Amino acid sequence: MKVFVVNCGSSSIKYQLFDMGDESVLAKGMLERVGEDSSRLRHAAGAKRVERTAAAPDHAAGLRCILDVLTDPADGVLAAAEEIDGVGHRVVHGGEAMRESRLIDEGVLEVIRANAALAPLHNPPNLAGITAAMDAIPGAPQVAVFDTAFLSTLPPRAYRYAVPAEWYTRHQVRRYGFHGTSHRFVTLRAAELLGVPADRVDLITCHLGNGCSMTAVAAGAAVDHSMGLTPLEGLVMGTRSGDVDPAVIFHMARRAGMDLDELDAALNKRSGLLGVSGVSNDMRDVLAAAEGGNADAALAVELFVYRIVQYVGAYHAVLGGCDALVLTGGIGENAVSVRARICEGLSGLGASCEASRNASTVGGAAGAITPDGAGLPVWVVPTDEELMIARDTRDVAAKRA
Ligand code: ADP
pLDDT tens across the length of the chain (401 residues): 999 999 999 899 999 999 999 999 999 999 999 999 899 999 999 999 999 998 899 999 999 999 999 999 988 999 999 999 999 999 999 999 999 999 999 999 999 999 999 898 899 999 999 999 999 999 999 999 999 999 999 999 999 999 999 999 999 999 999 999 999 999 999 999 999 999 999 999 999 999 999 999 999 999 999 999 999 999 999 999 999 999 999 999 999 999 999 999 999 999 999 999 999 999 999 999 999 999 999 999 999 999 999 999 999 999 999 999 999 999 999 999 999 999 999 999 999 999 999 999 999 999 999 999 999 999 999 999 999 999 999 999 998 86
Q: Which residues are catalytic?
A: 147
CA of 330 to the centre of ligand 1 (A): 3
pTM here is: 0.96
Q: How many helices (H) and strands (E) does the chain have?
A: 15, 14
State how far Cα 161 lies from the chain centre.
Answer: 23
CA of 304 to the centre of ligand 1 (A): 14
- Assess contact for 31 and 65: CB atoms under 8 A: yes
The answer to whether the CB of 329 is under 6 A from ligand 1 is yes
CA of 385 to the centre of ligand 1 (A): 15
- C-alpha Rg value of the chain to the nearest Å: 21
According to DSSP, residue 47 is labeled: T
The answer to whether the CB of 210 is under 6 A from ligand 1 is yes
CA of 282 to the centre of ligand 1 (A): 7
The answer to whether the CB of 238 is under 6 A from ligand 1 is yes
Write down the domain spans for the chain.
2-146, 197-385
Ligand 1 atom, smallest distance to 207 CA:
6
The answer to whether the CB of 129 is under 6 A from ligand 1 is no
Domains 2-146 and 197-385 share a fold: yes
CA of 210 to the centre of ligand 1 (A): 7
The answer to whether the CB of 9 is under 6 A from ligand 1 is no
- The residues near 10 (Cβ < 8 Å, ≥ 6 apart) are 35, 121, 122, 124, 125
Ligand 1 atom, smallest distance to 286 CA:
16
CATH 3.30.420.40 fits 2-146, yes or no: yes
Q: Whose CA is nearest to atom 24 of ligand 1?
A: 335
The CATH number fitting domain 197-385, selected from 1.10.540.10, 1.50.10.10, 3.40.1390.10, 3.30.420.40? 3.30.420.40
The answer to whether the CB of 335 is under 6 A from ligand 1 is yes
The answer to whether the CB of 231 is under 6 A from ligand 1 is no
